[in-house]
Amino acid sequence: MPELEQLLRLAAQASVQEARLAAARARLLARADSEGLLDVRYGSIESPLGTLLAAATSGGLVRLAFPEEPTDSVLERLSSRISPRIVESPAALDPWRRELEQYFSGQRRSFQAPLDWSLIGPFAQRVLQATCAIPYGRVLTYSEVAAKAGSPRGSRAAGNALGSNPIPVVIPCHRVLRSGGTLGGYGGGLPRKRQLLELEGALPPTLEG
């Protein structure tokens, strides 16, 4: 019995220590944030597509990565392209987490939380902004998106821009199909593209079943 009491006492002390460390970490993050020392915050978001890695700056969501993308590689790229001042801070992703949860549950048809376009080049921005304008439940072809981006003959370049979209789902590149209604490509894999189109009721009849 004394041994059990001792183990319980040690467990309680460990819990208190963990709570103190968590509180100290929260205070440190808050202070660093208030002094402008944090540039990128990241955390995980659970979804029907798997656990997504999300990262945001003061400008908005800058990256949303599928589960098969190695976290270290994603963070390394953010470090080289945005800033090495990166910290894990799941609470900072709450605005996008809420909107994604609402989207996947069928309660949201458009995203309002801000985006940071820092990882996207000028032409790709035009392509992805045209993609953002595709209404929920609708689709366009690669050539149609290229035309809306100001490059009617640039369907291949538009496809490359869509394939390298750093913020999938929120920037809905899944709504762009090949001419004739076939799925085309998707950075997260065609099963996920089909899943998203089915969620939105936008899967072409030729692909149903």
Query: What sign does the dihedral 146-150-153-156 (CA atoms) show?
Result: negative
The catalytic residue among 173, 176, 177, 183 is 173
CA of 107: how far to CAs of 88, 98, 113, 140, 200, in Å?
28, 11, 15, 23, 11
Do the beta carbons of residue 38 and residue 29 sit within 8 Å?
yes
Q: How far apart are CA 205 and CA 209, in angstroms?
A: 8
- Report which of 44, 91, 45, 40 is spatially closest to residue 62, judged by C-alpha positions: 40
Q: Which residue's entry shows tokens 């072409």?
A: 204
Do the beta carbons of residue 154 and residue 169 sit within 8 Å?
no
CA of 168: how far to CAs of 27, 52, 78, 84, in Å?
32, 10, 16, 23
Residue 132 among the catalytic residues: no
Query: Chain centroid to CA 13: how far?
Result: 38
Active-site positions?
A: 173
